[in-house]
């Protein structure tokens, strides 16, 4: 499960059964958005809008994409 809707600008992956943190990274600004997923024959990509600007946080106009192995 991927979550980016946090004020600390982190994008995190959790095990949906246990809640254990599996991975995290820092975005250019908070990603107050639901990540999108594209899964093709050879890859899976997660994309999140890191727009920030809410609750006094840094603003950005960046989309960040990650390819999973």
pLDDT (tens digit per residue) in 13-41 = 899 999 999 999 998 888 877 787 777 76
Lowest mean pLDDT among 23-37, 39-53, 55-69: 39-53
Looking at mean pLDDT, say which of 8-22, 31-45, 47-61 comes out highest.
8-22
- Per-residue pLDDT, 43: 61
Please tell me the predicted confidence (pLDDT) of residue 41.
Answer: 67
Average the pLDDT over 50-58 and give the result.
71
Tokens for 60?
A: 């950005």
């Amino acid at each position: 499960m991927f979550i980016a809707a946090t004020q600390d600008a982190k994008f995190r992956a959790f095990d949906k059964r246990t809640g254990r943190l599996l991975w995290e990274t820092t975005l250019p600004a908070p990603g107050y958005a639901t990540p999108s997923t594209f899964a093709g024959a050879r890859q899976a990509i997660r994309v999140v809008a890191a727009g920030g600007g809410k609750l006094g946080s840094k603003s950005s106009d960046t989309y960040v994409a990650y390819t999973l192995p």
